[in-house]
Amino acid sequence: MSPAPLFKRVALIGFGLIGGSIARAARAQNLAEEIVATARSAKTRARVAELGIVDRVVESNIDAVKDADLVILCIPVGACGPVAQEVVAYLKPGAIVSDVGSVKGAVVRDMAPHLPASVHFVPAHPVAGTEHSGPDSGFAELFINRWCILTPPEGTDPNAVERLRAFWAGLGAKVEIMTPDHHDLVLAITSHLPHLIAYTIVGTADELGQVTSSEVMKFSAGGFRDFTRIAASDPTMWRDVFLANKDAVLEMLGTFNEDLSKLTRAIRRGDGEALFEHFTRTRAIRRGIVEIGQDSSAPDFGRPHANLANEPE
Amino acid sequence: MSPAPLFKRVALIGFGLIGGSIARAARAQNLAEEIVATARSAKTRARVAELGIVDRVVESNIDAVKDADLVILCIPVGACGPVAQEVVAYLKPGAIVSDVGSVKGAVVRDMAPHLPASVHFVPAHPVAGTEHSGPDSGFAELFINRWCILTPPEGTDPNAVERLRAFWAGLGAKVEIMTPDHHDLVLAITSHLPHLIAYTIVGTADELGQVTSSEVMKFSAGGFRDFTRIAASDPTMWRDVFLANKDAVLEMLGTFNEDLSKLTRAIRRGDGEALFEHFTRTRAIRRGIVEIGQDSSAPDFGRPHANLANEPE
């Protein structure tokens, strides 16, 4: 009953959370006849082979792209340009070249100049992830109901865009198309600024003199622990994101700082009404996110809670 | 087999998330012979009666405290002083009077002057919660493995402290004792500042011109949605927290702003090493919190993920 796979050969360069999740989901959904994977470190390649979730693990990026119909770079944003340059001579004519980077303007700027007219460049960003990284962290359900944003440069063959859209839809994602610049603004507020703030506050807590780290951890259930999840994300990936999306992040940061000053002033002046008004408004946004299925409505994200010794009958 | 309940009559004034969770857990654990509850609004009182999880719902705070051995104010911090003043003449000699407020210095300052020497004042703060509020939001497991901080004024009868400790231990909590001032510093960083930051960024996202609210919601899985959870917390409670713990919050905010400036400067200058070093350090704190059982190690907090249509066999 299964239709023919969308692609004959899919090459995954890089096998962290995203590469590993694509491999697992693509196999589960029969989206490729063959999945070839590679990774920079020999340890990761050995682990991928051991996991048995791709058809072939190869030693180099060049070996990976040979004869591939779809090549996806699943590596930090800063590595995309050099890898494109490395493999460009070995790409199959007609192949689709894509990535999964959280920044799109810089990726287009770094990759596009290397790519020949004989291939289709369709940058992509699946807006999904967890705080874990490495070849074991992926899972087939990661993209379900999440958005994947495609940012094809003007003039890209619509058939290539459509095939990549079908691939991501097959992985469970909802697909949207926008320009790289607009993508970078949207993600600056929905992802990059939240990460920067979380990294900051977790660092602040770690440095305090009057409150110990062990106290911070013990009493983290009051709110702090939610921030530590995203501040535990992959450091290399996030370093590259902030360097690559500098302008949009600095712009959002400016607005954030103004708003923080406003609330700080309200606290200093004891202006309860201003605080109450602000706190009431933010509740509505949460409701919207839950309503459109982008988060769980279960209290505490549905975190597991232990049972009491004597449960009521 | 069950031992005798710790208290004959427990009075809960206020029936939101915390009051409702105490009622459910105390009943499940047989910690009180009788639980009496009241709430300010007739609608909440009717709902509590309908839920059938307390022995008696009464119309007034005064009726609630009569003959109670343990009185717990489960109301916003700003309401604690006036309620203490209202009920003081009706408290049973020897009763323990407590609260659940997220700020302790202000509660002690507001309540202690009203209370007669014939009762024991043992302020408490269970460091647990969800983003939901109201009489239906509580659940018996809320306090399990969470900390409850007691801040008895100097000279409090150790037996009273011990009885309240046993009550909270019975609800599943681990109990710690500290001074009100130290509590307020610890909570400023582990809870109040994270909430202020989350309220700020969710507000910022709501005000942007170039990115629409619907885009913010759609692409929130990149990190933003974690902030919306705590920015959906009860506005009245949080207004009172910031007014009552102003000094400690402003102090932590000062440190946070310095740290944010440092990271902002690293981004502006393209200093990848400084970013990488910071992002690596913050991972360790997350690990510590998971190790001591204050959060789930499951990716994404263990949020539910849907299944793919064709699961691998």
pLDDT attached to residue A303: 82
Give yes or no for a contact between A34 and A12, defined as CB atoms under 8 angstroms apart. no
pLDDT attached to residue A301: 82
Residue recorded with tokens 């102090």: B251
Taking residues A43-65, what's their average pLDDT? 98
Spell out where A82-181 has E strands. 96-99, 120-121, 124-126, 147-150, 174-177
Residues of A in contact with B295 (CB under 8 A): 220-221, 225, 228-229, 303
* Tens-place pLDDT, residues B264-278: 999 999 999 999 999
Spatial distance between the Cα atoms of A250 and A38, rounded to a whole number of angstroms: 35
The two three-digit tokens of residue A161, written as one number: 């865009």
pLDDT attached to residue B301: 82
Q: Which of A24, A251, A286 to mutate to test the interface with B (most CBs of B within 10 A)?
A: A286
Beta-carbon separation of B250 and A231 below 8 A: no
Of B215, B267, B286, the CB nearest to A249: B267
- Label residue A63 exposed, middle or buried (CB < 10 Å: 0-12, 13-18, 19+): middle
Of A239, A302, A303, the CB nearest to B272: A239
Does the pLDDT of residue A313 top 90, yes or no? no
Does the pLDDT of residue B236 top 90, yes or no? yes
Confidence of residue B308 (pLDDT cuts 50, 70, 90): low
pLDDT attached to residue A33: 98
Q: Which of B132, B305, B307, B311 to mutate to test the interface with A (most CBs of A within 10 A)?
A: B305
Beta-carbon separation of B285 and A199 below 8 A: no
Give yes or no for a contact between A101 and A71, defined as CB atoms under 8 angstroms apart. no
pLDDT attached to residue A275: 97
* Tens-place pLDDT, residues A146-175: 999 999 999 999 999 999 999 999 999 999
Confidence of residue B310 (pLDDT cuts 50, 70, 90): very low
Helix (H/G/I), strand (E/B), else coil: B242: helix
Give yes or no for a contact between B22 and B171, defined as CB atoms under 8 angstroms apart. yes
Chain B residue with CA closest to A284: the answer is B232
Does the pLDDT of residue B311 top 70, yes or no? no
CA-based nearest residue to A151, from A85, A100, A115, A195:
A100
pLDDT attached to residue B2: 58
Our CA-based measurement puts residue B41 at a distance from the nearest CA of chain A, in whole angstroms, of 19
Residues of A in contact with B144 (CB under 8 A): 305-308
Of B206, B259, B288, the CB nearest to A285: B206
Does the pLDDT of residue B57 top 50, yes or no? yes
pLDDT attached to residue A306: 74
CA-based nearest residue to A212, from B190, B170, B165:
B190
The half-sphere exposure of B46 on its side-chain side, counting CA atoms within 13 A, is 3
Of B25, B220, B308, the CB nearest to A28: B308
pLDDT attached to residue A2: 58
pLDDT attached to residue B185: 96
Confidence of residue A310 (pLDDT cuts 50, 70, 90): very low
* Rounded (10°) CA dihedral B151, B155, B156, B157: 140
Of B197, B243, B286, the CB nearest to A272: B243
* Rounded (10°) CA dihedral A155, A183, A302, A200: 150
Our CA-based measurement puts residue A124 at a distance from the nearest CA of chain B, in whole angstroms, of 14
Confidence of residue B169 (pLDDT cuts 50, 70, 90): very high
- The pLDDT mean for chain A works out to 94
Does the pLDDT of residue A292 top 60, yes or no? yes
Does the pLDDT of residue B312 top 50, yes or no? no
Residues of A in contact with B197 (CB under 8 A): 197, 201, 227, 260
Spatial distance between the Cα atoms of B297 and A303, rounded to a whole number of angstroms: 10
Beta-carbon separation of B306 and A172 below 8 A: yes
Tell me the domains of chain A and their CATH numbers. Answer: 7-178 (3.40.50.720), 182-299 (1.10.3660.10)
Does the pLDDT of residue A312 top 70, yes or no? no
Taking residues B188-208, what's their average pLDDT? 94
Taking residues A67-91, what's their average pLDDT? 98
pLDDT attached to residue B158: 97
Is the Cα dihedral B306, B309, B311, B313 positive or negative? positive
Our CA-based measurement puts residue A50 at a distance from the nearest CA of chain B, in whole angstroms, of 18
Beta-carbon separation of B28 and A283 below 8 A: no
Give yes or no for a contact between B238 and B193, defined as CB atoms under 8 angstroms apart. no
Give yes or no for a contact between A9 and A125, defined as CB atoms under 8 angstroms apart. no
Spatial distance between the Cα atoms of B70 and B168, rounded to a whole number of angstroms: 12
- The pLDDT mean for chain B works out to 94
Give yes or no for a contact between B221 and A249, defined as CB atoms under 8 angstroms apart. no
Spatial distance between the Cα atoms of A271 and B146, rounded to a whole number of angstroms: 32
Does the pLDDT of residue A281 top 50, yes or no? yes
Q: Which of A104, A146, A184, A204 to mutate to test the interface with B (most CBs of B within 10 A)?
A: A204
Does the pLDDT of residue B309 top 70, yes or no? no
The half-sphere exposure of B308 on its side-chain side, counting CA atoms within 13 A, is 25
Does the pLDDT of residue B307 top 90, yes or no? no
Chain B residue with CA closest to A260: the answer is B200
Of B257, B275, B309, the CB nearest to A239: B275
Residues of A in contact with B286 (CB under 8 A): 131, 202, 228-229, 231-232
The two three-digit tokens of residue A218, written as one number: 């013990």
The DSSP call for residue B92 is P
* Tens-place pLDDT, residues A215-268: 999 999 889 999 999 999 999 999 999 999 999 999 999 999 999 999 999 999
Confidence of residue B306 (pLDDT cuts 50, 70, 90): confident
* Tens-place pLDDT, residues A123-139: 999 999 999 999 999 99
Residues of B in contact with A293 (CB under 8 A): none
Residues of A in contact with B257 (CB under 8 A): 260
Give yes or no for a contact between B231 and B202, defined as CB atoms under 8 angstroms apart. yes
Beta-carbon separation of A194 and B224 below 8 A: yes
* Tens-place pLDDT, residues B8-41: 999 999 999 999 999 999 999 999 999 999 999 9
**Helices of type H across chain A:** 17-28, 42-51, 61-65, 80-87, 105-111, 158-170, 180-187, 193-207, 213-218, 224-230, 235-244, 246-269, 272-291
Confidence of residue A308 (pLDDT cuts 50, 70, 90): low
Percent of chain A exceeding pLDDT 90 equals 87
Residues of B in contact with A216 (CB under 8 A): 186, 189-190, 285
